[in-house]
Chain A
Amino acid sequence: MIRIGSLFLTQHKYSSILIRIWTIAIILFTGYRGYQLGWTTKYIPEEIIEFSAWTDRLWYANQGFQSLLHLNIFSIILASAIIVVPVIFYVFLFRPQLITDNPIIILISYCVLLVISIYTFVRFDTPNNYYASRYFIPVLLPMVILLFSYLLKKLRSRVLTIIAILSVISFNFYYIFFMFQNPERTGRVELVEEIADFVPRGSLIFLISDTFSHYLLTPVLTEYHAAKVIHLDYDNNMEEKDYVESIIRYSDELGFDSAYVISEYSPSYVLEYKSIDFVNRLYPNTILYPDEVIETSYQYYLFKSYQPISKIEIDNPDNYRFFIEGFSQVEKNQVETWIWSNGASSKLEVPLKPKMEYLLTFQASPFAVTEEFQNVEVILNGKSLGRIEMSTNEAQEYSIVLPSEFTKAINQIEFKYSYVKTPKEVYGANDERLLAVRFLNFEFEEIQ
């Protein structure tokens, strides 16, 4: 082996022959692979591997001359200012004596051929630039430029030097300047910092999003903000209630009283939320160096998660959101605050712990009429739970059990009244509301 090595590293004649043969082999094999890539279906992938750049072969294999742009040699030429590799190949083929008079340059030439061989015989195509051509950077790029600089010195050609300078100015700087003016993947740190401002460090976060946002936010919030992130797949067919149910179940299991939500839809069960716009700027997948940027807009909503409630205080305006149907305006005097039902039935919508039994207690008084008692049917999520008879006109506490089998994360509690009257009809007052019951508060007590 040493003798063979000795032959090719010292004897100029044999070195020249070997370099020529090796270069021709690379060219021929590149041509053969180019034919296979461009004019056969050999490299069209049979199965799509997720996250793999090689899936791009679906689009660029069997595309004739267009496919040839994906041969590694094309990207290597682009990476080295166009001029470098053709000059080296020219010298290898036609003027190898320029390199064979210096042992260290022979060694470097062999190294260049070795590395180009890796990207010819082992891996031959580049799916896209810049991403997939990065393997040329650590060894191949400095080696070819090093060899080129030696050749410049040897040739002392002003024309070649000027062409190299022009290449740098016209080709390299054109794309560098484009990158400078049109950066990609910006605004991400700002996005994370905006989230970090809203969500305390170490919080439990529910991320309701597509896969992209999951991969974008989950790792960085976990590592940078010490958050515990649970991703819930965003699905157009799912209702907000389903997410709320999941969130409450997870929070309960993990023992978190409060959690935060980042979602791609605007929430309707919370009062306050923050919305953040994010533009994802990416260079397109292209084999020529990119000269455009593709933008995709995202909007994220941040809010404190839906909390199971334990009571509804009528004097707190934040609680008005629970009165979704069949209620009047809140009224008050110096002593108390109340809300009248308005219509044949009234509906509350409240977040509770799913599958938890509750005792619903409410203080209320009926709209008094002489001939009958008010009889209220309580319906939880469409299931009738029974009737409450209001036998006195005074405000009293009434209770009913909300069984665990019917409680969900978001619950509709309907009160159906046995009669409704307008004050106009009873007292002759100028009030045409259909009144049945005056509510003073609601309490939801967990029954363990």
Chain B
Amino acid sequence: MNYFLFLTAVFSVLLLINSIFVTRSCISLLERVVRSISFLFLVWSFLSLLLVLFERFNPSLVIYLTFFLAALVYYWDKKLARKSSASSTKNLRMDKGILALLFFTVLMLPLIFERIEYIDMTGDAGVYSIAAMHLSTEGKFTGKLEVWRNLNNELKEEYEKSNLHQYDPDQNKGIYMPGTYIERSEYKDYYFQFYPSWPIVLSLWGSIFGTMNQSYVMVLLYIITIFLFYFTLIRWRIRGNYALLASILLGSSPLLVYFTKYPTSELFLLSLFCFILYLLSFEGFFERLTAGLVCTLFCFSHVSSFLYLPMLILFAIYSHIYSKYKFSIFLFVSFLGGLVSLPYGYKISKQYLIDIYSSNFAIFIDSNNVFYIGIWIVASCWSSGLVYSLFLLRRHRLLRGASE
């Protein structure tokens, strides 16, 4: 365990707990903690995604930079003295529901603590785990096979036969391990399937607690998710026992429990989704902007996020009809994030993007250019949503200007 990185991360959370973004409207200490940790993951992820893009990812650097940013926010917050009264100690109470949920979570801990040690590349979970280890050591999503590069032609052929899968040197295509694509160049031999956000989180956790403990981050994500879901229900006026029962229904789903041990990205995506719902339950501009950023991260974590695009469009129509223009910033950032995730995905995991779009759109479109048609349709939808949200944003500004 790297104690220094651990303390840096803990201090980042502590700084966030006391910053205006967290204290403004949170009711309980636990909610502030949950929200701060969620923010921490968000900042970690975006910084890391940027570094991965330039093949300079370094977990320690990300953790230190996040601390620096948290300290800046804290300093800025204190300097402007904008701390709201909501942060006073009277608001640090815990109600019965929170205590009951806390009891449930503690009860669940031993049941979710055992890890599925997925470190082999026979399935998606292994691809994520190995990609996380690779990111930690190499700082990028591509890899070189030094052995392959240093063999003579005769041995190269033997190596390719026993170590690579479906490799075609003429097409420069094949598979090194399930979940990797071969594309040889001077700088790389293969790259990983999937988007890198989830491996980034595993890698960051692994850098603090040890590589073989990287998937324990899921225990924390599970707890955060359950509480975010509960707080959302409370804020949406589904109070009391119903919110508690719903949170237990979610937290005790065997499917969710299994995927709390199994390191694919689903739990991470669920925590992002619950964070979006939670943030949208607030009135503030900052929360709606952050919800948009979380939605962007969702798109940067899940290649099939376009499947949920109709939900965003429906939400935009809802905002328009009910004049809820305050959501326009969330929609604008979300649509923009979805659009930007397309070139990002193409740059980071090209063949994966092609495979997913081709297989999904092949159900409806019978064409050799199914990928291009699919990506064009999705890009058009994201763009239309973006334009529509710009229109809503303009209305929001006009209305606000008029009211002022």
Chain B residues with CB under 8 A of A137: 255-256, 259, 266-267, 269-270
Whole-angstrom CA separation of A318 from B87 in the bound complex: 75
Which of B20-28, B36-44, B58-66, B120-128 is the contact stretch?
B120-128
CB pair B249–A145 under 8 Å, yes or no, is yes
| B353–chain A nearest beta-carbon distance, Å | 17
Per-position 1/0 for A163-196, Cβ under 8 A of B? 0110110011101110110011111110011000
* B147 CB–A CB distance under 8 Å: yes
Main SS class of interface, A: helix
Q: Is A368 an interface residue (CB 8 A)?
A: no
Binds A, one of B48-56, B91-99, B154-162, B342-350: B154-162
For residue B300, which residues in chain A have a CB less than 8 angstroms away from its CB? none
B126 touches A219 (CB 8 A): yes
Of A18-26, A107-115, A336-344, A424-432, the segment with at least 4 beta carbons within 8 Å of chain B is A107-115
Taking the complex as formed, is B81 at the interface, i.e. its CB lies under 8 A from any CB of chain A?
no
**A141/B321 contact (C-beta < 8 A), A122-B307, A216-B120, A231-B163 known:** no
B212 to chain A, nearest CB (A): 5
Closest to B148 in A: A230
B254 at the interface (CB under 8 A from A): yes
From known contacts A138-B270, A142-B274, infer whether A130 and B320 are also in contact, taking CB-CB under 8 Å.
Answer: no
B283 touches A (CB below 8 Å): no
Which of A79-87, A321-329, A434-442 faces chain B?
Answer: A79-87
Is A220 positioned at the interface, with any CB of B under 8 Å from its CB?
Answer: yes
Q: Are B252 and A141 in contact (CB under 8 A)?
A: no
Partner of B321, one of A2, A204, A223: A2
Known contacts A187-B117, A219-B177; A79/B255 CB under 8 A: yes
- Nearest neighbor of A133 in chain B, beta-carbon distance: B255
A249 touches B250 (CB 8 A): no
CA distance A79 to B147 in the complex (A): 45
* Distance (whole angstroms) from the CB of B187 to the closest CB of chain A: 18
Bound state CA distance, A133 and B254, in angstroms? Answer: 11
Tell me the bound Cα distance from A249 to B242 in angstroms.
Answer: 69
A103 adjacent to B322 (CB under 8 Å): yes
Q: What chain B residues lie within 8 Å of A188 (beta carbons)?
A: 117-120
At the interface, yes or no: B10 with Cβ under 8 Å from chain A? no
Q: Does B398 contact A (CB under 8 A)?
A: no
In the complex, what residues of A have CB within 8 A of residue B150's CB?
A: 253-254
Question: B30 in the interface, Cβ–Cβ < 8 Å?
Answer: no
**Are B147 and A254 neighbours in the complex by a CB distance under 8 Å?**
yes
Residue of A78, A79, A146, A189 near B246 (CB, 8 A) is A146
Q: Of A5-13, A32-40, A401-409, which stretch is located at the interface?
A: A5-13
Q: How far apart are the CA atoms of A152 and B139 in the complex, in Å?
A: 49
Identify which of B111, B133, B307 gathers the most chain A CB atoms within 10 Å of its CB. B307
Binary contact readout B9-39 vs A (1 if CB under 8 angstroms, 0 otherwise)? 0000000000000000000000000000000
Quick check: is A131 within 8 A (CB to CB) of the other chain? yes
Q: Which B residues lie at the A interface, using CB under 8 A?
A: 110-111, 114, 116-123, 126, 130, 133-134, 137, 146-147, 150-152, 155, 158-159, 161-163, 165, 177-178, 211-212, 229, 232-233, 236, 238, 241-243, 245-246, 248-250, 252-259, 261-262, 264, 266-267, 269-270, 272-274, 277, 298, 302, 304, 307-308, 310-311, 314-315, 317-318, 320-322, 360, 363
- A sample of 19 inter-chain contacts (CB < 8 A) reads A2-B320, A5-B314, A5-B321, A79-B253, A133-B255, A136-B255, A137-B255, A137-B269, A138-B269, A139-B311, A149-B238, A164-B249, A186-B114, A215-B126, A220-B120, A220-B130, A223-B130, A230-B147, A254-B150
The 8 A-B pairs with the shortest beta carbon distances in the complex, nearest first, are A149-B246, A138-B269, A223-B133, A175-B254, A188-B117, A216-B120, A5-B317, A172-B252
Additional 8 contacts, C-beta under 8 A, given A133-B255, A175-B254, A224-B212: A5-B318, A139-B311, A149-B243, A167-B249, A172-B253, A188-B118, A229-B147, A246-B158
